[in-house]
Structure 1
Amino acid sequence: MVIETAGAERKLQLQELENLRLEAYENSRIYKEKMKAVHDQNIKKREFQPRDFVLLYKSRLMLMPGKLRSKWEGPHRIEKAEPYGVYHLSHPSSSELIKVNGHRLKLYHGEKVQKSKELEIFRLEDPYIATD
């Protein structure tokens, strides 16, 4: 008789444990949905139009480390916009087009670059140290 009551009590405990586990899964799902909604509110939709000037993010920056090196290159001009965030860029000093993802771009707010204008490039080098 004691064994039967102990067995029934154990079944109730297991069922309660299963209910707690299912409730934890449900709470986790609700939490993830709320966090996704908060995250999605902060995402800015980037829409670029043809003839806009943009800067292109250098994803291979770690090959040449340096604090003062810029992570952005450009300005580039958008020649064509395709669906799903694909853009064709042209650099003012060259005629070839680059196909990039829109997540790697940001709007350029500087002066408009003319097609015939030459860009001056400054390279950062270590200073010369004279030895006596």
Structure 2
Amino acid sequence: MSTGPTPSTIGHISGATGIDSGLKRTATGENLKAAGQQFESVFTSMMLKSMRQAKLADPLFDSQAIDTFRDMQDQKLVQQMAEHTPLGIGKAMTDFLARGLSATIAENQAGAENGAEPDPNLQSNLTTPRR
């Protein structure tokens, strides 16, 4: 049992998205994958919302309560879609960010070999599982 914050948990904050907002948040493959899923969820939500607005209004089911329920249903649907049947947008973003992070880590290591102080906020554990 934990009696309080330990040095390894201080500074580790994750919000409603589940993405670590600490200093090292972009340095882990797990956080990159979570950010990719979140991005895909937001993108799909915006796409679905635009599709719903483009349809003709139905006077029988046209109320604020129905709209609110449909918005909540759509939000849950797009979260499930991003997790289980992704469109590939989140993976493309994750791969792009991982390449950029790999280049930054390589530059940091090259600087350390030349006598520069390495950046302690960068980690090289980019173990994102491939599908």
TM range (shorter): under 0.3
TM-score with structure 2 setting the length = 0.22
Larger Rg: 1
Structure with the bigger percentage of strand? 1
Higher relative contact order (CA 8 A, sep 6+): 2
Q: TM-score, normalised by structure 1?
A: 0.22
Q: Is the helix fraction higher in 1 or 2?
A: 2
